[in-house]
Amino acid sequence: MAVTTEIAQFMRKLEGIWDGHVDALLKRRDVAAAMSDMTGEPSVRHLPLGTGADGRAALDRFYRDALLAHLPSDLRWTRRSRTVDRFRLVDELTVAFVHDCELPWLIPGIAPTDRDVSVTAIVIVGFDRGAIASQRTHWDCTSLAAQLGTPIDFDSQHVSDCPPERDARSADGRHRRLAAAADGAR
């Protein structure tokens, strides 16, 4: 299927929306600007731990209280690849920083180690009618734990900022119900 000029322009527009979101959130630390191009019910998750939030109010709190309040002072990233279509954008990133503060949104409960780390992250952004509807960031936490010299207990590190009844209806809720069933079978 050939990509028409209009579709190509639309895909470039989606890239601009995502890049503007990242700039507003992580560089300017402007939550209102970052959320301006999101749907009415956005969803953000950092995996494998499942931190994040669903809905505008919860996401606003997550961005302000969990993410921005706990960002490494020298956070930097390099995009390795980007794939975009009319419905989603996928970035492969190398994210580097000095672990100079606790990161409850990424590795809760791990005190700062002051170690340099470089970790792969895959970001999958879903769009609905040109607005950001979802973001799933898959972090290489095994590599991160090795670089920090500390184990991460994935069984005890589950953090969620959305109520169980909403969580049960979300895409991640299906994963959590399966994980809970597996835990009960042990």
Q: 16 versus 155: which is more confidently predicted?
A: 16
The arithmetic mean of pLDDT across residues 123-140, rounded, is 97
Place of tokens 């992250």: 121
Angle of CA points 25, 8, 45, to nearest 5°: 35
Tens digit of pLDDT for each residue in 139-160?
Answer: 999 999 999 998 876 665 444 4
Contact 78, 71 (CB under 8 A): no
The domains found in the chain, sorted by start residue, are 5-173 (3.10.450.50)
Is the pLDDT at 174 greater than 50? The verdict is no
Average pLDDT over residues 63-87: 96
Cα dihedral sign for 94, 95, 96, 99? negative
**End-to-end CA distance of the chain, in Å?**
48
pLDDT of 170 higher than 50: no
Tens of pLDDT, residue by residue over 37-67, are: 999 999 999 999 999 999 999 999 999 999 9
Q: State yes or no: pLDDT of 183 exceeds 70.
A: no
